[in-house]
Amino acid sequence: MLPDKLSALHFLKLKLKNQIQKIAQIFKRLAAAPCLFYIFEEQGFTQQKIQEKFTEAFVHTLPKALFIYLPIFAFILWLFHDKKKWWYFDHGIFTLHYFSFLLLNILIFSFLNKLTNVVTIGAINWLLYLVMTGMIIYSALYFFVAHRRVYRSHGIVSLIIGFILFSINFIAFLFLVVGLGLISFLMIH
């Protein structure tokens, strides 16, 4: 029995060593990230090509990041509301609805943005930019409206809690986007 236990321990030790080496390689690439830009240029990539590849990698990893952020957003909501009245999954449902609204808004915004590149009539472009600006403002205000309707808080209390939640989530999401940007930059190939 003793050799089996030793071989299992040896296997776990090797597996842990491999994981540590993988993490060390990731940190080496992160430390070398500023140099990677110059390495890509030396390989013949233009700045425009590097930006295109970065954007492609960023867009492909964004849904994964949003999927990771959903339970974090729900957890932050759970921290700020009555635990007896609202369960964690209730916050998860609110989060799914809110993120669905945001993703639909981003889809429409992207379509309108592409449309402004095609349309050459100044008045129509101005109208499209006005609609896009309204969408951005409404996206920010929608959180407060949805929060007040779902959690049935009273006016100023809902506004204060909503502003605190919005600020915390904005900062947390900003960190997520920066991390996503680093990962996207490292995934360029």
Chain segment 116-140, per-residue pLDDT in tens: 888 878 888 888 889 989 998 998 8
- Cα(124)–Cα(116) distance, integer angstroms: 8
Q: Is residue 132 part of a domain?
A: yes
22 assigned to some structural domain: no
Does 28 reside within a domain?
Answer: no
Is 93 among the domain residues?
yes
Q: How is residue 41 written in tokens?
A: 């240029």
Residue 1 pLDDT more than 50? no
- Whether residue 2 lies inside any domain: the answer is no
Two tokens at 174?
């900003």
Contacts of 30 by beta carbon, 8 Å cutoff, 6+ apart = 182, 186
How far is Cα 163 from Cα 169, in angstroms, rounded to an integer? 10
What is the extent of the structural domain holding 166? 46-186
Instruction: Tally the domains of the chain.
Output: 1
For the record, the structure tokens of 62 come out as 């964004």
Q: Is residue 24 part of a domain?
A: no
Query: Would you say residue 1 lies in a domain?
Result: no
Domain membership of residue 74 (yes or no) is: yes
pLDDT score of 28: 62
CA distances from 43 to 121, 164, 182, 189 (A): 41, 47, 20, 11
Q: Model-level pTM?
A: 0.65
Confidence grade of residue 93 (pLDDT, cut at 50, 70, 90): very high
